[in-house]
Amino acid sequence: MSGADNRTVCIVDDDDAVRDSLRLLLESGGLVTRCFASADAFIKAGAQNMACLVLDLHMPGTSGLELLRLLRRGGVSLPVFVVSGRRDPMLDAEVRAAGATNLLSKPFDDKVLLDLVLGAVTV
């Protein structure tokens, strides 16, 4: 599902402004983005051929944690960067146990996220 030459990052976040900011940030780093307003829209699109995923944790419908678990159960091992405006130590542990590559708090440092994602897609 991912490849060294693939620079496509899927962004799943229900907040239009956050999604657009993430898109602009990642595209400024030379990445290609595909944006989804919900985990359900991502699932419905059957998004494939991506290098990694930037995923909001708290969304209506299927949550980011549920999507992460679904992907991992399906054998998808691509890097997943989870972002959340609401942190809870128990939930953080669940996200890590589900296989998140990294968990960042909103607001996060743009350079940190960009560097993490660029590092993941160039491995």
H or E element, residue 32: strand 32-36
Q: Which residues pair with 34 in a beta bridge?
A: 10
Tokens of 85: 């405006």
Is position 14 within any domain? Answer: yes
Strand pairing report for 102-105 and 52-56: unpaired
2 falls within a domain: no
CATH number, position 103: 3.40.50.2300
pLDDT tens by residue, the chain, 123 residues: 334 458 899 999 999 999 999 999 999 999 999 999 999 999 999 877 899 999 999 999 999 999 999 999 999 999 999 999 887 888 889 999 999 999 999 889 999 999 999 999 975
In a domain, 63, yes or no: yes
Sequence letter at residue 99? G
Does 62 map to a domain?
yes
Residue 46: predicted pLDDT = 83
The number of domains in the chain is 1
- Planar angle of CA 31, 99, 89, nearest 5 degrees: 110
33 inside domain: yes
Domain of residue 111, residue span: 8-121
Examine residue 34 and state whether it is found in any structural domain, yes or no: yes
Q: Count of CB atoms within 10 A of residue 68's CB?
A: 23
1 domain-assigned? no
Looking at residue 51, what DSSP letter applies?
A: S
Q: In what order do the strands lie in the sheet with 32-36?
A: 32-36, 8-12, 52-56, 80-84, 102-105
